[in-house]
Structure 1
Amino acid sequence: MSQIPMEFILIFLGMVFLSVFLLSQGMVVPVFGEAGKVRKRIRERLHLLERASDLPNMQMVLREKYLKRLSPLEAALEQLPGMERLGQMVEQSGHAFRAYRVVLLGLLLAVVGGLLVWTLSQLWWAGLIAAAMLFWVPILKVSNDRARRFAEFEEGLPDALDAMVRALKAGHPFNETLRLVADEHKGVVAHEFGLTFADINYGNDVRRAMLGLLERMPSMTVMMLVTSILLHRETGGNLTEILERLSSLIRGRFRFQRKVKTLSAEGRMSAWVLVSVPFVLAVGLMLTTPAYIPMLLNEPLGHKLIMAAFTSMIMGIFWIRKIIRIQV
């Protein structure tokens, strides 16, 4: 191990990090939640609905009120480019801290980690790469928490709809069914339905409150729920039957997504094995025959072979991802 330069160890760790990140973000087929492109289309549709009803954007109204409560320095930091989207991500993840604190934490990790790697390796570019990777750690944590919260909400939504159906059959008005769901359930569903009930109870109209729910939870299931309720209020009909069918549809959608995950399990496991084999083999060579690796590193041809192998690995990750999605 003493013959292996620190430069190679840092490059090796960077390759492992990038490969694992691409696999975890691209290869895992989610059971719940929506992809980023779907959420983007939902936000565009939401803005069209707000403009069609001559309503200001709910997110902008809330952000203006939020900025007025901050100090001048905090308000200036919150108005930097990208802070609005990051603040929405933090809010959707269920955290109470402010967006600029996520960026400051990322900068702190980047500076400390970058200086530490630079000190240990004496390579400025290695410290720069480490700083760039550490900066995104808090943002990735918030993104994962948001995805987990979306999944929890969608998983509990069918039971909430069933509770609304029972309340409507018992003679309760629609607004009261939201409060009953908030009182009887726990977790993200109870919190979001409680916010929607409070929004209506404090004088906002149902349309605006339901669009606010969709703003906080941009998913296809919530889009179906909000659209069904708004159409019912405009055209009439049996809301109980609509919610029953919607609950059944959501459960069927979840069963299909679980089936997709089961069918793609073999392909995803194969992807993990194929990508991990080169790294496991490299570690094995380091431990058993340390003289092999320096021979590869000391030759210019070896550098080209390493870069070609890693580039081929990245291409293989995306290719396997495409094969898996075609099969399922």
Structure 2
Amino acid sequence: MNNIPSEFILMFLGMVFIAVFLLSQGVVVPVFGEAGKMRKRIRGRLHVLEKANNLPNMQTVLRQKYLTRLSPLEAMLEQLPFMSNLTQMIEQAGHEYRAYRVILLGLFLGACAGISILMLSSVWWMALLVAFAVFWIPLLKISRDRGKRFAQFEEGLPDALDAMCRALRAGHPFNETLRLVAEEHKGPVAHEFGLTFADINYGNDVRRAMLGLLERMPSMTVMMLVTSILIHRETGGNLTEVLERLSRLIRGRFRFQRKIKTLSAEGRMSAWVLVAIPFVLAVAIVFTSPSYMPVLFNDPIGHKLIIGAFCAMLIGIFWIKKIIRIQV
């Protein structure tokens, strides 16, 4: 390995990072469908409902109150572009970080990583790429925590609906059932139902409180719950029966998602194996035949072959992702 330039070792590690990242985002994350696109559609519908009913945007109102508690410098930083979306993402992840601190942490980590690469190698563009990649690590961590929290909320929602049905049969009013769920359960379900109860208890109407719940937890499951409750309050009927059917529907949806995950397991494992083979083979050749790989790294034609192979691998990752979605 002493004959291999350090910049190509860094390039190799960068290729591994990019391949694993794209594979995890393209094959592992969207197993259950277009969750991100669904959340965008839900937020769009919420904005349409708020405009149609002349209601203020709950996120905007809460953000204005939040900014008044900050110092002038912090408030100026929090009003930078995309800070409101990052703040909402942090809150949905269950954290209490301030958005500008997350950005500053990313910049600090990226600068440290870039300087370290410059000290090891004089390739400035490699240092820039590494710094850019490291900058996104705090944001990816928050996004991952938000996805976990969404999943925990949806997993606990059927039990919460069953508890609401029992409370309604016992004669409790609707807002009291929300309080009982918040007290008897744990995790994101208890927290979100507690916020919804507090919203109603402090004088807000049920419609706006339920839309606030959907705004904090934008998912198809919560949208079904909110729609069912709002339709019941406008047209009447047996809310207990509606919630029971919704609980069974959500559990059936989870069973269907697990079946999809099982059916796509072979394709996802094949994707990981196919992407890992070139990198594992390259490392094995370096250790078994040290004089073989430097010929590829030191020749200009070898550089073009490496770049072409990596581009072909990226195309293969997206193609595998498409095949897996077609199969399921």
Instruction: Please say if residues 102 and 139 of structure 2, whose CA atoms lie closer than 8 Å, have aligned partners that are also in contact.
Output: yes
- The AA in structure 1 aligned to 2:322 is K
Q: Distance in 1 between matches of 2:188 and 2:30?
A: 19
Q: Is 2:320 the partner of 1:325?
A: no
Q: Which amino acid aligns with 1:37?
A: K
1:135-284 to structure 2, matched below 5 A, reads 135-284=135-284
Contact 1:33–1:219 (8 Å) recurs in 2: no
What is the aligned-residue identity percentage? 76
Q: 1:238 to 1:194 in 2, by over 3 A?
A: same
Gaps of 5+ in 2: none
Residue 121 of structure 2: aligned partner: 121
Over aligned residue pairs, what C-alpha RMSD do you find? 1.1
Output the CA distance in 1 between the equivalents of 2:6 and 2:315. Answer: 27
Q: For 1:291, give the aligned amino acid.
A: S
**SS of equivalent residue, structure 1 residue 266:** helix
**CA distance in 1: counterparts of 2:153 and 2:280, whole angstroms:** 39
Give the SS at the match of 2:70.
coil
**Contact 1:34 1:220 (8 Å CA) reproduced:** no
CA distance in 1, matches of 2:50, 2:91: 21
Listed one character per residue, the Cα deviations across residues 240-290 of structure 1 (whole Å, up to 9, x for unaligned) are 011001001100000000000000000000000000000000110111111
**Which residue type is aligned with residue 20 of structure 1?**
V
User: Matched residues in 1 for 2:315 and 2:199: separation?
Assistant: 48
**Counterpart position of 2:63:** 63
Q: What does residue 84 of structure 1 align with?
A: 84
CA positional deviation for 1:298? 1.6
- Partners of 1:186 and 1:83 lie apart in 2 by 30
Mapped partners of 1:186, 1:31: distance in 2: 27
- Deviation at 1:232? 0.7
TM-score, normalised to structure 1's length? 0.98
The answer to whether the 8 A contact 1:34-1:219 is kept is: no
CA positional deviation for 1:52: 1.8
The 1:158–1:225 alpha-carbon spacing in structure 2 relative to 1, beyond 3 Å, is same
Q: TM-score, normalised by structure 2?
A: 0.98
The Cα of 1:34 is off from its aligned counterpart by 6.0
Cα distance 1:240–1:29, how it changes in 2: closer, same or farther (>3 A)?
same
Cα 1:93–1:33 change in 2 (3 A) is farther
- Structure 1 letter corresponding to 2:127: G
Q: Describe the superposition over 1:25-70 as per-residue Cα deviations: whole angstroms up to 9, x where unpaired.
A: 1101557796111100000011111122210111111111111111
